[in-house]
Amino acid sequence: MKKKVDIAVATDPIKNPYDIIEYAKDLQELVEFLHCDIMDGKFVNKKSLDAEFIKLLNSQTALPLDVHMMVSEPKTKLIDDYIDAGANIITLHFEAFKDKKQLLQAFSHIRQRKALAGLSFKPNTSLKEIRSYLFYVDIVLLMGVEPGASGQTMKEQTFERLKKIAKFREDNKLAFKIEVDGGVNDENAHLLFELGADILVSGSYVFNSADKDKAIKKLRK
């Protein structure tokens, strides 16, 4: 069976949180995930979407919630707050943890709570640094841009990094899904898919499209 790409639309371009609810409702028949960008104002400059809002969002949409935590040193209670609110995926940043043992403990805890554990990392973080952590996650979120700002152009190095992660997965017979976030559009989606991406996150590309249905179909092609 031919593999298909899943599409996640991101919350970040939307300034009014309550517009996110309508956006999710409008697109829930067209995409597979709602990618919820959680920012604490420390790890990145912006701040957005607390657990109470995610709980409200979860009550209003049938879309699985892909929660991307751009948060410094997220504690177990904070992770639990988002899982209790309805998060299906919790993705943590490699750089957010000074003590990497805590990162591994967080992955284990997320899985114990029956959510999927994801690892993300910034474009300038070496793949050698994160390789050993790929054995403990369900999702690898490859950032094509610096986290924290929607609308950036994807960095050229993203394609080679994706290729290497996909090869590492194959060589080690691992089953994690590869998700790409940042600068995804109809011009690069096909190549990302061919290089091994399973989930493509679209923020500005879909949100700013006059015909969102058509834009999503272009990503799938």
C-alpha count within 13 angstroms, C-beta hemisphere, residue 201: 32
Tokens of 75: 């504690």
Catalytic residues: 37, 181
Q: Residue 130 — left, alpha, or beta (φ > 0 → left; ψ -120 to 50 → alpha)?
A: alpha
**Separation CA 215–CA 218 (nearest Å):** 5
Q: Can you give the pLDDT of all 221 residues of the chain as single tens digits?
A: 457 899 999 999 898 989 999 999 999 999 999 999 999 989 988 888 999 999 999 999 999 999 999 999 999 999 999 999 999 999 999 999 999 999 999 999 999 999 999 999 999 999 999 999 999 999 999 999 988 666 788 999 999 999 999 999 999 999 999 999 999 999 999 999 999 999 999 999 999 999 999 999 999 98
**Separation CA 88–CA 54 (nearest Å):** 11
Please state whether the predicted TM-score (pTM) of the whole model is above 0.85: yes
